[in-house]
Amino acid sequence: MSPIMGKYDGTSDPDDHINLYRSAGEVALWPMPLWCNMFVQSLVGSARVWWDSLPVGAIDSFEELVTKFLQQFSQQRRHTKDRNEVLHIHRRDNETVENFLTIFNKESLAIPGLTQELACGAFLQGVNDDELLRKLHDRNGVPDTIEEIMRITKIYVCQEKSIIASHAANKKKESYRPSEESDRRGSKIKSQSGRFSRGTHA
């Protein structure tokens, strides 16, 4: 039994375990009777309890074993998303473009069979940022790959963050100016009052 395959405890996707088990058996050139006998060695926890509860002679072939195994642990199968679900990814109010980009990447990677055309269309529909959309719709038209759209968006995000940081720095400088001006005025008044005092004593 290949240590790379690991053990199945009934809490993960059973299809993944079956695929790994088939690969191990094919590489090792197991004869078919051995496929069922070796399978029990790949089970632990609740999966092993299920195996031990099977009546003697209840399974006649490995394919029948696979069918019963997948039925037993079908609830652990990952939900396969429909490709059109990518169209429901939208940037929320007050959500940054950077955060939307992260979520879109994560969600779209979990959707099998997603085409370039659908991914591009979904991103343009969901990003909801006029300035970014103007950058994406240049004189050559919208990029035809999601990778290029992501590249342009990342540049846009970096530029926006730089602008925001610059504005914040300028506001901070402006907030110091009135106090500096008042300090100078105070110093000037003290200086003048000192001169007046000296003049009076004379």
202 falls in which pLDDT band (50, 70, 90)? Answer: very low
The tens digit of pLDDT for each residue in 120-155 reads 999 999 999 999 999 898 877 888 899 999 999 999
Question: In this structure, what token pair is assigned to residue 178?
Answer: 């009135």
Q: Which residues pair with 43 in a beta bridge?
A: 8
Question: In this structure, what token pair is assigned to residue 78?
Answer: 């990952």
53 touches 116 (CB < 8 A): no
Rounded CA separation 72/92 (Å):
40
The tens digit of pLDDT for each residue in 82-114 reads 788 888 899 988 889 999 999 999 888 878 788
The tens digit of pLDDT for each residue in 141-197 reads 888 899 999 999 999 999 888 887 776 777 777 766 555 555 555 555 555 555 545
| Domain positions in the chain | 14-76, 83-192
Backbone angles phi and psi of 138, in degrees to 5: -85, -170
Rounded CA separation 28/153 (Å):
48
R_g (Cα) of the chain, nearest Å: 34
